Structure 1
């Protein structure tokens, strides 16, 4: 299980002001550049590391993130994106993977901000 940082980040999902979040705009910004290509780049790097080292399953963390967001927004797409982020972050912690863009992603969640667009 990843360190306490994951519990802090999961707790921060409850603090996000979802009422002011334009979900359609959010989803658009996640699917556009530079966010999309950076996310995929980090994901692929982590997947390569996972081929060399076994890591614990992150589905429970992803599930908790998904449920938290879905209960607040009832938006499956938004909850899915955020759950994917949490899986990526958990894997990176277990693999000791560090990346400047990923640190910006994590920093958003530390501030209870949903990351999107140009971090």
Structure 2
């Protein structure tokens, strides 16, 4: 895995294939954010973050910043919810960081990406 995979992720975001109106349809934002924070999901997310996203060199990658920014803007435009947009942006950043570093066997990150590609938020 490499930069090419992250560029593909950015292209999918830019083309509106990852975040759509259906992704957020019928969402109780407060309930969703509470569920994410209170579950084992939050623990797994932090473990993956520590593993993939804390490397300074990765965090500075322009393509990664572009992915995070696009995810934030699209979520905000579709929902009007800045806190939710921050969570989605963080998810996309984590996915991108793992892809940049060549992970192919992180089941948690794979599940995050698969959820978004299927048009649903993780946990939903």
Verify: 1:101 aligned to 2:105, yes or no: no
> 1:60 is matched with which residue: 55, 58, 66?
66
Q: How many Å separate the matches in 2 of 1:89 and 1:67?
A: 17
* Aligned CA-pair RMSD: 2.0
Gaps of 5+ in 2: none
Question: Unaligned stretches of 5+ in structure 1?
Answer: none
Q: In structure 2, do the counterparts of structure 1 residues 17 and 40 end up closer, same or farther at CA, with 3 Å as the change threshold?
A: closer
8 Å CA contact 1:65, 1:79 repeated in 2: yes
Number of equivalences: 114
Question: TM-score normalized by structure 2?
Answer: 0.80
Calculate the TM-score normalised by the size of structure 1. 0.83
- Name 1:115's counterpart in structure 2: 122
Give the 3-state SS of the residue equivalent to 1:30 in structure 2.
helix
Partner of 1:77: 83
> Which residue, out of 89, 95, 104, partners 2:95?
89
